[in-house]
Structure formats: C-alpha cells, structure tokens
Structure 1
Amino acid sequence: MELLICLLFFLSLVAGRPSHTTWRLFSARDELQRLTSLVGDAQNSVPDDDRHLSTASGECLGLFRLAEDALRWSVSDGDPKTTPSTGDHLSDLHSWLTAAAGYLIDCKDGLNLAGVHGGGIARRLHRTSSLVTSALREVASLSAARGRRLVQGFPDWVPADHLRLIMGDDLIIKADVVVAQDNTGNYTTLGDALAAAPEKADRYVIYVKKGVYKEYVEVRKPNLTIMGEGMNETIFSGDRNNATGNGTGASATFTVSGPRFITINLAIENTAGPKAGPAVALRSDSDLSVYYRCRISGYQDTLFASSNRQFYRECRIFGTVDYIFGNAAAVFQRCDILSRLPPHGNADTITAQSRELKDQNSGYSFQFCNVSADEDLPAAGVDTFLGRPWRNYSRVVFMQSYLDSSIPPAGWLDWDGRGSTADYGEFENYGPGSSLAGRVNWTGYHILNKPAEAAPFTAHELINGDSWLPSAGVPYTLDLNVTNS
C-alpha cells in the first residue's frame, strides 16, 4: 500500500495537482460491499415469476465480484501470485479501473432493463460508480501526462519449463494433471481438475486429451494453463442462450476470470444456433490472458471479450451478429475472423466494443488477421460489417489484415448515432473489402495513414504487451513490423 501511495503522490506532483485517488478507491470498495449486500438481500425477495429481475440481480452480483477484484488489486501491492501486475503500476491501475467502471455500467444497464430505475440500490450504485469513475479520470490524466514507458525485464509468472512446454516439448509429461474421458488421466472432467487446482501457484498446467466435453467451465483461480490436443480435437461444447433464462454473460460455455490465464490448442463452442439469440461460447475477464491456437465458435455474441488485457493469436473465431463484443483491451493477431450465415438473411457485424467512457483504455485491435466469410455465406450475398458501436466511445481498429469481399464499401454500421463519438480506424489492410473509397464519413471513423497513428493499437501500446507477453511463451508481435509477425 505504501508503494502505491508514494507512486500516486509522485505522479500527482508531476501532473501539478494533488491526488485523491487512493481515498476514492478505498471508499469505492466500502460502497461496493454495501451494494453487494443490498442486491443480495433484494435478490432473495424477487418474485418467482420475475425472471428478468432475478437474472439482472444475479448478473450484478457476479459483476460486483469482478469489480471487487479490480479494486482490491488497485489499492494494494497484493500477492504476486494472485495480482496481475506488469510492473508498470500506473498502466495496471488504469486497466483495472477501466474494468471496474465497466462492470458497474453493465450492472446499471441490466437493472434498467429489468425496471429498476430508482430506490436504494440505484442510489448506492450511482455513488459507487461516481467514486470509481472519478479515480479513473485522475489516473487517465496521469497516464496521458506520463506517456508509455518500457518496463525493464518482464514478470516471471511463467516458469522456464512452462515456456518449453508451450513450444512443444513433452506436452503431457510437463503437465501437472491430465483430463481424459477414457480414464487414462487424473480426471475425466475439466471441472474436477479445476476444483483440485491450487488457489495460488506460479503456474499450474492442465492437459486435456481429445474429446467433446459437454460441460460448463468456470476458471477463477490465477496462473492456470489449459492445453488441448488441437482446436478440432479437444472441444468444450454448450448450448445455453439468453432465451433459456441465462443472461448473455451467463450463457457462456467457458468463463474465465482468474488472471494470467493461458489456453492452447482447443475449441470452445456454443451450439445454440443462429436463431437462439445471444449465446456466448467464451467469456473472458482474465487480465493478462492468452488464447493461442483456439477455435471459438458460435453465432450471435460468440466471444465476450469483457474486460482487462487479453491476447489472441492464431485463433479461429466464428459468428454472426456482434460476435466479438465487450470492453476488454484485446489484441487479435493472425486470427481467422469468419462470419457465418445469419438468421433471416440480415447483415453480420463482427465487433460490438462497449467502451462507454473516454477515460477507459479499452479497445479491440485486429492485426495480420484474415477477415472472411465462412463457406456458407458468399452464396447468400450477406454483408459483413467490421463493427458497430455498442456504447458511446467504442474503439476498434483493423490493421495490416486481409478483408474479403463480404465487407461492404461502407465498412462499418452505426448504432443509435454513436458513430460520431466512436473511435474506429483502418491501417494498411488489403483484399477486395479493404477499399476506403466508400467508407462511412463519421467523425469517429479514421483512416490511419501513418505508423504513428496506428501505434497506439499495437500489442505494445494497447495491452502493455512488452511487459508480459515475452514470458507467456507464445508468438507475438509488439509493433507494426510485418517481418516480425
């Protein structure tokens, strides 16, 4: 705690004004605890037939747990085995407060949809949100004044033998436990393996043999690696969806919130189908998380890249409407982004990024990717838009990527007039859908002509990749250099 206070005091002097950030963070934690109790009590009295309110309050409690984690990391140096620090304390703080503010916004939206617009819950939620957004505003100002810095070295939270494991040496031997449906491993389900995993470990590796695992997975513990035998061999499959009474986030087949999560060589799918509405395959709130050579498959709302810093490399992501959405700071490199045939012949939209506040440092970046129609789409003549702004300051950039002919001339789709405040851009894309001649003319859309304009969306800048990706053991590119990709 002393280190954080000293840091904030020093940065406040540099910025020329005093900081009350630490006080706001402690106050926000106190308010959040009271709010959690209030919503928990209210949930117990929800009528059995009010499914919307029951779902909304349940989702809020889950969001409050995530917000509590973010605030806890923010107010203390923390246990290095459970706190996802990169060594750049100000950048970490900015990311965690971005996440915390987003969770509270999501809760408010859910309660509003359920008809909760006032009363004690709404007032306390407003107080908590005000404290968090005030702290976020100050940290964002300090970040802008300082700029980015290079971290010397990088965290040692992935041991050397794990790096060799990822590069392909003796995969099963180096795993801590093996999951196999044929009883040749330590467990037959991933859920059992996760329940037995340590609460704190430098790195704990679970190897999952091939098979279709029909289970709903939740990863809360830190520093876990889950490895499969290939994206078409080890498959986690579910079919929950919004219409079945699960909220959108709760429909996920695979949910990850434990920090520093790594997953390799497996598939996560939601098979609810194109007419089922929102149905999430993967939801990730894991800070400093890596998804390498994974297939993430669904239709509407396939990948909920919800919050914190995430990195996707050589993945295949399938969907229809808003199929990559949320408020994470996420970089996608060398991924196949594949649009499927939507219901009723409507248009597809790849992204629906949900940055609501200018001070949040979230956004999506697609670099060296293949953006194409899946095999069933071209004959239908359906357009695929690169994105639409779910919230006011939605931020997405496609750069150095192949865009096929399913991308229409306009490129992007508006949503309630938010195109003027969104931050959308393109840089050095190629392919039949990359022409900029007919693109939207919103004030929020930018053609990035210079490397300096695209640099903020590299892995180095957007997710502080220089401070943690080198130790993750997977390929990555920090800059715009194609030869390093």
Structure 2
Amino acid sequence: MNHDVSKQRRRLLQASLTAAAAATLPPLRAAATAPPFDAIVARTPQPGARTFASVGEAIAAAPMEGRAPFRILVTRGRWHEKLVVDRPNIHLVGEDRSGSVLTFDAAAGMKRPDGEPWGTWGCASVTVRAPDFRAQRLAIENAFDYVGNLATPKFEPIGPNGAQAVALMLDAGADRCEFDDVDLSGHQDTLFADAGRSLFRSCRISGSVDFVFGGGNALFEDCELHSRFRPGKERQGYVAVPCTPARQPHGLTFLRCRLSRDALIPDASVALGRAWRPGRTFADGKYGDPDAVGAAAYLSCWMDAHIDPKGWDAMGYTARDGKRVMLEPELARLFEHDSRGPGAHQSPTRRQIDPTQLAMYTRERVLAGWMPEA
C-alpha cells in the first residue's frame, strides 16, 4: 500500500515538473512546430533564417506578389520604425507579446520630412495596404506624448487638435487581416480600421479619444478595450467611432469584449462611441460624407462603470452648405445586445439589436464569407 502511494506521488511530481518546465519555455520554442520563418528581425545574426536589422528591411525582402505566407519573426526589443506593409501575405510573429514592440511617435500635426503635416491618414506607426496580413504575439504602439501635449501643445492643429496619433491603420488594399494576441496602444485614434475585413482575437486596444475608428469591417472577439486617463477632461473619451459606408452591412463589431479603464477615470465619463462623417472633397466642395452611416455593435460585452449610461454621443461635421452640424447617434447604426457589468444600462438612448437580427452577427455573416482558420 505504501509502495503504491509512493509510486503515485513520484508520478505526480514528475508530471508537475514536466508542466513547470513547459511553462518556462520561451515563446520562441512554442512556435517551433509552426512553418519555418522566412526572416528574423534581431540585433545580432540568428541561425536558421535570414536576419535583418529592422522590420522594414524584412518586409522589403518579401515577394511583391507573394501567394504564400512570408513569416517574419520579430525578436524582443523596441523597433522604432514607421512601417508600411504593401506586399500580400506578410505574417509578423513576435517572440514576446509585451517584449516585441513596433513603435513610432508621429502625430497628425507633426511635420513629415517634406515639411507638410502627417495628418491622421499618414501618422500611423504601422500601415497595412495589402491583403492577408497577419500579426501575432507582439505590440504595436504610437508613443506620441499625448498627455504632455495637452499641457503644452507643440504644433498647429490638424482637424480638432493635431494630436491624432494612430498606432495601426488598415488602409486601402488591406483585406482579410488577422490579429491574434496583439497589444495596440495609443491615445487619440489608436486603431484606424478603414478598409477591408479584419479579425482581432484576444487583443488589447488602449486609448482615449476615438480609439477604435474607421470605415472598415472589423470584428473583435474576446478583446479588451481599455480607456486611458486624460487629465482635465470631463468627457474622458469615446471607444468606437465608425464611418461605415451606407451600403456596408457591418462596421465595428465587438463580441464578448471587455471595456476597462485606468483607475483615475471617473464613472460615466466615457461614451460607447459616436458616428463619424469625415470630410471628403466632392465636385461642389468639401464637406462631411453623406454616405458615411456609421455601424457599430457591442454583443455580450462586459462594461465597467466608466461607460456613460446614455451610451453614445453626437459628433460634429461640416454640412454641404458649410454649416457645422451634429450627427446624432440615432441617425447612425449604433446598437448593443446583452451588455453586462456596471456600465451596462437599459435606456432609450442605448438601442438594442432586434432579436430577429442577431443571426446577422455570426462570424461568417460579419466577415462576408471569409472564414479565417482557428
């Protein structure tokens, strides 16, 4: 009897040691069963693949018409580069989610090398303009000092203030883009999902003003949407700000996400979002695009008490006659279903998805037939 118990204890001990050893393996080992990397970004040469000193150089080494994934391992480090992905099938895989960081610090009001301002459409740390991009287990940030700029503005305003500082932009040409276990960090305009279909799984997106925005079709599954503190601001921020084209059924769709906050953010000080009508140039002038009828939906999301009970805010735009008017939430497609937590409220201003329309929010329907691998 004692002998059997002793053997059982040895087996349990061995099993626990094996599990502990597996848990301490670096993330690079976990990817060993995946296809080999085509390139490695590292400070020193690495065995097994071509080594590049920058992420930009590794992307430039990929085929212009790549039909197979070009897999790039990004080792631990802060890679200060302004990146444009203009080749299809680029896959960026970080060695460590918090340690492999793609970073830049351009804001809309800052000047480009040619002396002109970057603008919102040009300031992103990473811009994707090609299909089938994938990022996994890394961080993308815009490190612009937003809070410092609130106290001491450093440039001429572009739009409302010039402090728009995009971390990631999905631009024209992007489609079928996947993000798994990725941290996106900024303040104003962190994620600009403006084109194509994209899927974000188990990601963390942090910011304050309009920090998930654009006209693309983006699905967020099991993500954290974290609101950051803005000193001296009564309205601390806005989460989802879509400018979805009227013909497009879906815009920004959040499924089983968690809306969290910095400790200093007061209750009821952050809006679920607002609909954006960006200015476009037409034959008869420049004014808010009437075709932009923003679509955003929160489904089975948990919300902390920083979310305002009224839910959504209006947003100003320039009308065709040149007057400044407000786009009210009820004129856009802004909805919820099964919201939970202290920030979830039932009120006339927080419209619920009709139960008969819930079938429209399956992954296959939202992503218009694109079915990413699990």
- 2:79 matched residue in structure 1: 213
Of residues 168, 171, 174, the one that matches 1:282 is: 168
Cα deviation per residue 1:87-118 (whole Å; 9 max; x = unaligned)? Answer: xxxxxxxxxxxxxxxxxxxxxxxxxxxxxxxx
**TM-score scaled to structure 2, two decimals?**
0.75
Q: Distance in 1 between matches of 2:166 and 2:366?
A: 25
- 1:399 matched residue in structure 2: 299
Contact 2:205 2:226 in 1 (8 A): yes
Residue 309 of structure 1: how far off its partner (Å): 0.5
Contact 2:125 2:141 in 1 (8 A): yes
Q: Distance in 1 between matches of 2:353 and 2:34?
A: 45
Matched length = 297
Q: Which letter maps to 2:228?
A: R
Q: Which letter maps to 1:240?
A: A
Of residues 402, 411, 417, the one that matches 2:311 is: 411
Residue 343 of structure 1: how far off its partner (Å): 4.3
In the alignment, is residue 364 of structure 1 matched against residue 269 of structure 2? no
Q: Percent identity?
A: 29
Seen in structure 2, the aligned counterparts of structure 1 residues 395 and 173 have a Cα distance that, compared at 3 Å, is closer
SS of the aligned residue for 1:192 comes to helix
Q: Which letter maps to 2:169?
A: R
Of residues 339, 342, 348, the one that matches 1:432 is: 342
- 1:291 matched residue in structure 2: 179
User: Which 5+ residue runs of structure 2 have no aligned equivalent?
Assistant: 1-26, 111-116, 150-162, 278-291, 316-325
Cα deviation per residue 1:165-188 (whole Å; 9 max; x = unaligned)? Answer: 999541687111111123336101
- Pick the structure with more strand per residue: 2
Residue 349 of structure 1: how far off its partner (Å): 0.1
Q: Which letter maps to 1:389?
A: A
In the alignment, is residue 423 of structure 1 matched against residue 333 of structure 2? yes
RMSD: 2.2
Q: Distance in 2 between matches of 1:282 and 1:171?
A: 29
**TM-score scaled to structure 1, two decimals?**
0.58
Q: Which letter maps to 2:55?
A: L
Q: Distance in 1 between matches of 2:300 and 2:29?
A: 26
- 2:90 matched residue in structure 1: 224
Which protein has the larger Cα radius of gyration, Structure 1 or Structure 2?
Answer: 2
Cα deviation per residue 1:337-391 (whole Å; 9 max; x = unaligned)? Answer: 0000124324210011012x4223441100011111134x33x456111110112
Cα deviation per residue 1:277-301 (whole Å; 9 max; x = unaligned)? Answer: 1000000132000011000000000
By relative contact order (CA 8 Å, sep 6+), the higher-ranking structure is 1
Q: Distance in 1 between matches of 2:267 and 2:351?
A: 27
In the alignment, is residue 237 of structure 1 matched against residue 103 of structure 2? yes
Q: Which letter maps to 1:189?
A: S
In the alignment, is residue 252 of structure 1 matched against residue 124 of structure 2? yes
Cα deviation per residue 1:194-217 (whole Å; 9 max; x = unaligned)? Answer: 111111231111111110000111
Seen in structure 2, the aligned counterparts of structure 1 residues 463 and 429 have a Cα distance that, compared at 3 Å, is same
Paired residues for 1:246-395 under 5 Å: 246-275=118-147, 276=149, 277-285=163-171, 286-347=174-235, 348-355=237-244, 357-375=245-263, 377-378=264-265, 380-381=266-267, 383-391=269-277, 392-395=292-295
Q: Distance in 1 between matches of 2:329 and 2:268?
A: 22
